[in-house]
Structure 1
Amino acid sequence: MEKLETILSGYENESVVPSLFVFMGNFCSHPCNLSFNSYSTLRLQFGKLGKLIAAHQRLKEHSRFLFIPGPDDIGPSNVLPRCSLPKYITEELQSHIPNAVFSSNPCRIKFYTQEIVFFREDMLYRMRRSCLMPPSTEETSDPFEHLVATITHQSHLCPLPLSVQPIIWNFDHCLHIYPTPHTIVLGDRSEQKAFKYTGITFFNPGSFSNDFTFVAYRPCSQEVELSAV
C-alpha cells in the first residue's frame, strides 16, 4: 500500500491527471479456491484500497479505475473468459470510488480512436510449459517476443490447448484479436517488457506486488514508459 500511495500522490500533483488507472489481479496472495475462507477479509481490504484512492481528491473526481481479475482471484471457475469480481467483494471499494469499473478478463476499452485490450494471465510461463519444440532463436531469443508473435499469428489471446486452458465456447470470440487492436496489455508475473509487432503495441507491466513495477501508457503516441518505485 505504501508504494501505491507513492504513485497516486505523484499523479495527484501532476497538472493533468491520468484518465484511467488499471489494476490487474491477482488481488490476494493466496488462490481463492474452495479452501479459501477469508472473503470478508478480502472485502475489507478492498475497502481500505478504496479509502486510499479516495484520499486523492483530484484522482477520485477526474480519473477512472478499472479492476480486472487475475487467474487466482475469486470466481466460479478457472475457465476463460473470467467474469468480473463479485459485488460482495467490491461494494466497499465502490462506495468510496464511484468511478471504479469491474470488468471481465480479458477486457477491451475504447479510448477515443484507440482500442486497447487487457488480458491478465501468466501466458509466458504456461506457453513455455506447453511448448513441444523450442522456438527458433534465429531472429530473436526473447521469449516475450516469441509470445507476442504467436498470439498475433493465431489472432487469439490464449493459443493453448483446451485441455490446458478451458474456454467457454460460446464466448471464445472474446479472446479473438481480429480485427487487431492498437494495443494489447499482457499482464504477466514475468519481468516487464514492451514490444511493437506488426503495428500493434504489446507490453507487460510486470508484477507490482513482487517488484513494484508498473507502466505509464500514452495512447495518443502509443508510448510505453516502463516504471518502478
Structure 2
Amino acid sequence: MVRSMRAAIVKVFSTKYSLTLSAPALDYIEHVLREVRSSDHDRAALMSSPQNEIAQDGWIDALEFWAREYLKGEDTTSIVSLPGLKRAYEILQLGTTGDSQSIDPSEVNVNAHFSVVDSFDMPAVHFDAVRGGFIVAKTKPDIAGTAASRSSYLRERWGIIKEVVQRNENFTPPAVGGHDRANYLKLTSTCNLLGRAGQLFLLFGMLSRDPEGRLTLEDGDGRVVLDMKDAVPGEGLFTEGCMVLIEGEYTIEDNVRVLAMGHPPSEKRDVARGLYGHVDFLGGGAISLKDEEKFLPTVLANTQVSFVVFSDVWLDHPRTLVALRRVLEGYADAAEYRPMVFVFCGDFCQRGWEGEGGLKAYTNGFNALTDLLLSLPLLHQSHFVFVPGPLDPWSSSTLPRPALPPVFSKRLLSRIPNARFVSNPCRLRYFGQEIVICREDLMGRILRNLVGVKSGEEVADMKRYLVQTVLDQAHLSPLPQSVRPTLWEFDHALRLYPMPTALVLADKYERYELTYEGCHVFNPGRFISAGTGGEFEWSMYYPATGRSERSALSLDD
C-alpha cells in the first residue's frame, strides 16, 4: 500500500506537474492521505475532516487537486516547500478554491490556524535598498551582533520608510509629462545642499545629535545641522531616532532653518501585503493577500473567537489572584463565548524581582497561578501566553527581551496545556491576521525625550499622536540607542511593516483603543488600579470585527 501511495504521489507531482518533492513534503502528503477519510467525491476528499483512510481510487484526482492549488501560490517554486504545501491543504480544507464546493466556515478548526511567534524565532528579513525588496538572511542573527550590523539596521529602517514615502501619490511624478509634473513633492539628499544657500528643500532622514550635541538630520548620504527656532511640528510626537520629513531653507551657515516637520506617510497593510505577500516575515510560511481573502469568510463566521489581554498582572498583590479567579471562572462558565487566547503581560511583581524576597515572591506567585489554572479544566482548551514586562527577571534594558526564565515557568508549562512563555514583543497569528503584543512603557519614555510636538494639544491627542508616531515610523521603538537600546541583529522583530492587523501597546499609561490607517491599537491598562485595588480592567479583542472592548470587575460590588 505504501508503495502504491508513493507511486501515485510521484506520478502527479513529479511526472505530471514537474515538481520536485523533498523528503518532508513527501512524508507530509503520505500522512494526510492516510488520515483523510474516504469520500465518493474525489475533490471533497482533501477537504473532509481527517479521520479515516482515503480510498485508493481517489488518490490520483485528489492529488491533482492538491497540486493545482499549490501551484496557485504566489511564492511557489519547482521544489515543493512544506509551508506552501500546508497552506494549499488549509485552503482546500476551507473550501475557498474557485472550483470547489464551499463548506460551512463555522465548522473549521480555528485552533489549527493560530500560532504564537517569538521574536527570537522570526527569520532575519533584511531590506535591500538596491533591489527595493526583502531578502532572508542565510545565517541566524546573533545577540552580540557584529560591527557592521550596528549601522546596517538603521540604514534598513531608513530605506524601508523611504520606499514607502516614494510610493506615496504626493511624491510620485506623473507618468506622462505635462504641467502637473512640477507639482509633486521631490526629496533632496543632504549631499546636494552645498552651494545652494537661500533655497527651500524637502529632506527626509533621521533626527540625531552630532558630536557637539546639535540636532541634525541624517540620511544615507550625510547629515546637516537643523535650526529649530521657526519650526512648526505637525501631528505626532518627535524624538531623536524618528524618521521625519523636513521642509526648510538652507543657509550660508551650512544648516537648515526648519519651517515644517512631519512624520512620513504610512502604508496600509493591504498595500504592503500586495507588494510583499511572498515574503515570510514571521517564519510560518508566507501568506499572500489572495490567501488572506480566502480566509476572510471563516474569520467573519467565527464571531465567538476572542483574545483576552491582561497587563501588569501583579501576582504578589493580595487581591490579584482573587480577581483573576472571578474573571476566569466567569469565562469558564460561558461555554459559547469562552476565549480562545489569554495573554498575560508583566510586570508579574509589583516591586520587581530585585531585593529581599523578590525571587521567592515570583515563585510563589506563579505556583499560585498554576494552581488556579489547574482548578479550571474547562479553560485548558484555550491558549495561555505570558509576555514579560520591564521589571521582570532577568530584566534587561534591550528590546526584544527573552521570555521569563524556566525557573518560574517550568511547573506551569508541565501542567497547563497550550501555555507558552514568549519574548517581548511577540506576535499572534490567526489565519491571515497579525496581532503584535508589546509590553513597554512607551508613552512616558517618548514624552521624556521629545524634540518637538504640536503646541496646545490635550491628553486625548497624546494617545492619538503616540499611535500615529509608532505606525508612521513602522517600528515599536522609534528612539535612539542611548534611550532605548535594541539588539541590532534582531531589529527586524520590532518592525511594524507590513502594518499589523492589531497592535497591543500594553503600557502603564491609561487605557485607550483607536484605529489608525486600518490598524486597531489598544492599551488594556493595568489589571489592578493604582489606587485602592478595588477596580480591575482588561481588554478583549475580536478578530471577526478587528476591534477591542474594555472589560472591568469590581470586587467591592
* Larger Rg belongs to: 2
Identify if the C-alpha distance between structure 1 residues 36 and 200 changes in structure 2 by more than 3 Å, giving closer, same or farther. farther
Give the alignment's TM-score, normalised by structure 1: 0.93
Identify if the C-alpha distance between structure 1 residues 173 and 92 changes in structure 2 by more than 3 Å, giving closer, same or farther. same
The answer for the alignment partner of 2:335 in structure 1 is 15
Q: Which of 350, 367, 370 lines up with 1:47 in the alignment?
A: 367
Q: Which of 135, 146, 156 lines up with 2:454 in the alignment?
A: 135
Cα deviation, residue 140, structure 1: 8.6
Query: Structure 2 matches for 1:1-229, cutoff 5 A?
Result: 1-16=321-336, 17-33=338-354, 35=355, 38-60=358-380, 62-75=381-394, 77-136=396-455, 141-210=460-529, 211-229=535-553
Cα deviation, residue 38, structure 1: 3.0
Provide the rounded CA distance (Å) in 1 between the counterparts of 2:514 and 2:498.
19
Aligned residues: 227
Unaligned runs of 5+ residues in structure 1 are none
Cα deviation, residue 219, structure 1: 0.8
Provide the rounded CA distance (Å) in 1 between the counterparts of 2:325 and 2:435.
26
Contact 1:217 1:223 in 2 (8 A): yes
Provide the rounded CA distance (Å) in 2 between the counterparts of 1:38 and 1:141.
37
Larger mean Cα displacement after TM superposition, 89-98 or 149-158: 89-98
Provide the rounded CA distance (Å) in 2 between the counterparts of 1:139 and 1:46.
40
Please list the CA deviations of residues 132-191 of structure 1 after superposition, one character each: whole Å capped at 9, or x if unmatched.
223355799521111000001100011112111111101011100101110000000111
**Partner AA of 1:156 in structure 2:** H
Identify if the C-alpha distance between structure 1 residues 76 and 107 changes in structure 2 by more than 3 Å, giving closer, same or farther. same
**Partner AA of 2:361 in structure 1:** T
Cα deviation, residue 41, structure 1: 3.3
Give the alignment's TM-score, normalised by structure 2: 0.39
Unaligned runs of 5+ residues in structure 2 are 1-320, 530-534
Contact 2:437 2:505 in 1 (8 A): yes
**Partner AA of 1:153 in structure 2:** D
Q: What fraction of aligned residue pairs are identical, expressed as a percent?
A: 40
Bigger RCO (CA 8 Å, 6+ sep):
1
Contact 1:51 1:96 in 2 (8 A): no
Provide the rounded CA distance (Å) in 2 between the counterparts of 1:128 and 1:65.
33
**Partner AA of 1:205 in structure 2:** P
Provide the rounded CA distance (Å) in 1 between the counterparts of 2:490 and 2:499.
18
Please list the CA deviations of residues 173-226 of structure 1 after superposition, one character each: whole Å capped at 9, or x if unmatched.
110010111000000011110010000000000000325210011111112111
Secondary structure of the structure 1 residue equivalent to 2:491 = helix
Contact 2:390 2:396 in 1 (8 A): no
Cα deviation, residue 36, structure 1: 5.8
Over the residues paired in the alignment, what is the CA RMSD in angstroms? 1.8
